[in-house]
Amino acid sequence: MRRASVASADPGLAELAPDQRLRRLELTVTRRLNGLLHGQYRGLLPGPGSEPAGSREYRPGEDEVRRMDWAVTARTTVPHVRQVDADRELTTWLLVDGSASMEFGTAELDKRELAVAAVAAVGFLTAGVGNRLGAQVLGADGVRRFPARSGRTHLLGLLRALLAAPRGTAPTDRPGPGRSAPPELVDGLDALHRVANRRGLVVVVSDFLDGLPDDPDQPPPWERTMRRLAARHQVLAIEVTDPRELELPDVGIITLVDPETGHHREVCTSDRGLRERYAAAAVAQRDQVRQALHRGGASHLALRTDRDWSADIVRHVHAQRRLAAAPAGSARGGAA
């Protein structure tokens, strides 16, 4: 017993028992985020209902112009607004990237552990009576599917599975002839598009580096499928990054390894010009991801392994609520 207590005296997230990790995540989410939820059925992305429920006459000073039903207005010559029914049961689908690039991390958490924290936040935020949560997890051995179910037990089971999942395939074990390659992000999005039949919330947790073209003018392969999902669902893209992916420290000669391909390259980080070029390329790459997500119709939430992820989610939820509550004119002005 004494030996066990010494071993767990100062554990990190990766060393904690699954139940202890989940309790810490739940406490962080509920203490920091529950105050942001207004009503039982308000989710991570606020707004009115999405199911059409007819039209009614426009009430000046009460209705927003952006809800005008122009077809009915033209037929009746009387201004009408669209009515929608609030979705009383929310179905949330998660796509979690478990590829090799998500194993990287130089802060308190690595990218994969931060992805689990993001999944926990989404799960606890969208939990409610009748609400369901489903997931698809990309791994080295394929796509693991979790059917959409409700309840805290289902959510905790999903989080335990994510925490206990084996790490990515080592570069020396990459698939050869006759062995299937790991699924790509576009494969997971295609699979999600097939199962997410009912309108709801789709959350994609990834670093979005998969298939990112060298030419910034070319769209990544997953952009088109994300646009198809956004045509029916609210889509939230949670981008997970690490500070060493954005800038290099001055630590002399180091060996960089591509976790996806296993390629090695030695670089001298004492070269100031090299560090500046690296930082500029990283900024351009993240801007390329941001623009692709914007074109795909997704709301973008950036999380970093060296920052307070719960505070970042709080800021995102506040921003979304302000955007949803802003009048149509001011929203257009802000966008301009």
pLDDT in tens, 15-54: 434 455 555 655 555 554 544 443 344 444 444 555 556 7
- The pLDDT of residue 37 is 40
Structure-model confidence comparison of residues 256 and 18, the more confident one:
256
The whole-chain average pLDDT of the chain stands at 77
3-state secondary structure of 47: coil
CA dihedral angle for residue 228, residue 238, residue 317, residue 93, rounded to 10 degrees: 50
For the full predicted model, state whether its pTM sits above 0.85: no
Tell me which residue has tokens 């999903």. 158
134-148, 216-230, 256-270, 280-294: range with lowest mean pLDDT: 256-270
Q: Is the pLDDT of residue 269 over 80?
A: yes
pLDDT tens digit sequence for 194-204: 998 888 889 99
Q: For the chain, how far is it from start to end, CA to CA, in angstroms?
A: 63
Top CATH class, 92-335: alpha beta
pLDDT value at 8 more than 60: no
| Phi, psi dihedrals of residue 83, rounded to the nearest 5° | -115, 140
| Domain boundaries along the sequence of the chain | 52-85, 92-335
Q: What integer pLDDT is reported at residue 219 of this predicted model? A: 92
